[in-house]
Structure 1
């Protein structure tokens, strides 16, 4: 089986396991399918000769492919087990279609089409094989494409050619707050630096992410029967509406791009006595991030002063920080990534990721972990697609990183060589 066939075979096998994370659950992992996938991967890791393979109670799987270059830095790869829940089916039915320039029918029965006019990004892949779902779910290349790449890499690393120790981790619940990466026992992942493979098109590299926080704002009102409500009733739902209305629409996700931050009001649950609002804060700049936190406090005080018989409580919890703040621990991570891309002729597309990755958590915990492309487009969408050619290129890049890290030159790279732009 060649690399292309192995990547596709592994992706289809992993995609068949339902592993949507569940944001309503407080368990880790939040869904049983993630534990099932973890056990499958652990068995495969043992079968291809990895050492120290361990799956813990949180379905965090770790292991190491031992190398024969003792001077080489210890590198790692990490991917997440879960797929995102966006209200679609949890059952993924991947298929391969050849793109001939026409709209792709994903599902004849449901009449679901990936239309070129709506997704012109597919036009770059004329004549190519494309992996898609059937339109009833996300494809799950985020992040099972990465799992397939890493497992294929581990199976094909050749000690005759030479490589250092390569550590691997598969973690649950990245999509609901990077929970798995936060719970990792780093003594099981003792690498000098690592890589996530968790973004989109060919050449994309992430050295910068949002700073992120979640907010819960609770509005306590006063219930009363309508016959005696005047001067007594305090409607917590209206308190919440007033709170949200005090924020500018220009500061929401649908009105922002690039390095612009936002407030995202996600959920509102209310009854006669209480309303609970959840919101997300995102900003690339630390000062701007802190200012947004203060804005939540100010808005809460404004509503509290208007509804004197009610009350407003809020809690802000940091989710992750900008990955850039942790990448300077060891500049070799970025230097080797860039050198590998240059040697493979891959043009770098440096993007500020309007989201987060497990690498943001690991970088903050002392393991610099930049991120590079899987090759997939339209993450978190029924129209997600993965050109097979780029899938292979992502694998080539992961392999090249391992080989370069094993050279004396790479082992001696300084932090300055990997400095951020």
Structure 2
């Protein structure tokens, strides 16, 4: 079996296991399919001769492929087990279509089409095989394409091929707060630096991402019958609306791009007595990020003074931080990645990621972890697609990182 066929076969096998994360669950993993997939991967790792393979009850899988260059840096690769829940089916039915420059029919029975006019990003892949879903779910290249890349890398490394120790980890629930990466025992993952393979199109590289926090504001009103409500009733829903009115309407996800931050008021549940408002806070700049969190508290105080017989309470907690803040003191991982892309002739596309990856949590914990491409497009969409040649290039990049790593010592100097 060639590399292309192996990548595709592994991808199809992994997406066949339903592993959609569940944000309403407080358990790790949040869904049973993630543990099922974790156990499968652990078995495959052992069959490939990977050492020290462990899988725990939290669906965290770890192992190490011992190297033959003791002076080389110890490199880690990380992928997440869960697929995202965006209200579509958890069942993924992948298929390969040849793109001949015409709209692709994903599902004839439901008349679901990937149309070029709506997704011109597919145009450069004319004449190539494209992996798509049947339109009722996401494809799951986020992040099972990465799992396939890592497993194929481990299967294909020849004993004679120079490489240092290669650590691998598969973690649950990236899509709902990087929970698995935060729980990963780094004492059992002692690499010098690592990579997540968790961004999109060919050449994409992430060495900076949003700082992120989530908050909840609770408005407690005073209920009263309308016949005696004057001067008594305090409507918590109106308190919440007044709160949101103090924020710039253009300072939102749908009105910002690139490195622009935002507030995202994304959930409001209210009754006569109480309203609970959830907010997501994002900014690349650390000082602006702190100012945004402070802004929540300032507006809370204003609303509390406006409604003295009601009350307002709030909480804000950091979710993840900018990878770039942690790579400044140790750029070996980024430099090795850039060199690998140069060696392969892949133009790098430095992408300020308007989101987070497991690498954000791991970098903040002291493990520098940049992110590079799976080759897929349109993550979190029924129109997610994965050009097979781009998928292969993701594998080649992982392999080149190991090859170039063997040419250097752990300090990043050429051996």
With structure 1 as the length reference, what TM-score do the two structures score? 0.97
Equivalenced residue count is 414
CA offsets 1:180-218 (integer angstroms, 9 cap, x no match): 100111111100000000001111110100000000111
Superposition pairs for residues 208-223 of structure 1, below 5 Å?
208-223=208-223
Q: Spell out the pairing of 1:125-274 with structure 2 (5 A cutoff).
A: 125-274=125-274
Q: Which residue of 1 aligns with 2:351?
A: 351
CA distance in 2 between partners of 1:221 and 1:89 (Å): 39
Equivalent residues of 1:331, 1:413 under 8 A apart? no
Shift of residue 135, structure 1, vs aligned partner:
0.8
Long gaps (5+) in structure 2:
none
Give 3-state SS (helix, strand or coil) of 2:18's partner. Answer: coil
Q: Which moved more, 1:347-356 or 1:235-244?
A: 235-244
Q: Which residue of 1 aligns with 2:295?
A: 295
Query: What is the distance in 2 between the residues matched to 1:43 and 1:244?
Result: 51
Unaligned runs of 5+ in 1: none
Runs (4 or more) in structure 1 with deviation over 4 Å come to none
TM-score in terms of structure 2 length:
0.98
Query: What is the root-mean-square deviation of aligned Cα atoms in Å?
Result: 1.1
Superposed counterparts of 1:369-384, under 5 Å = 369-384=369-384
Alignment of 1:86-97 (within 5 A): 86-97=86-97
Deviation (angstroms), 1:159:
2.1
How far does residue 411 in structure 1 lie from its aligned partner after superposition? 4.3
- Counterparts of 1:308 and 1:136 in 2: how far apart (Å)? 50
The SS at the match of 1:251 is coil
Displacement of 1:237: 1.2
CA drift of 1:97 comes to: 0.5
Determine helix, strand or coil for the equivalent of 1:249.
coil
Q: Distance in 1 between matches of 2:271 and 2:19?
A: 33
Cα shift at 1:244: 1.5
CA contact (8 A) 1:332 1:410 kept: no
User: Matched residues in 2 for 1:20 and 1:237: separation?
Assistant: 33
What SS does the aligned partner of 1:24 have?
coil
- Change beyond 3 A, Cα 1:385–1:259: same
Name the SS for the 2:328 alignment partner: helix
Between the aligned partners of 1:80 and 1:330, the Cα distance in structure 2 is: 24
SS of 2:158 mapped into structure 1 = coil
For the 8 Å contact 1:107–1:134, the answer to whether it is kept is yes
Q: What is the CA deviation profile of residues 323-381 of structure 1, one whole-angstrom value per residue up to 9, with x for unaligned ones?
A: 01111343221111111111100001111000011111111111111111001000111
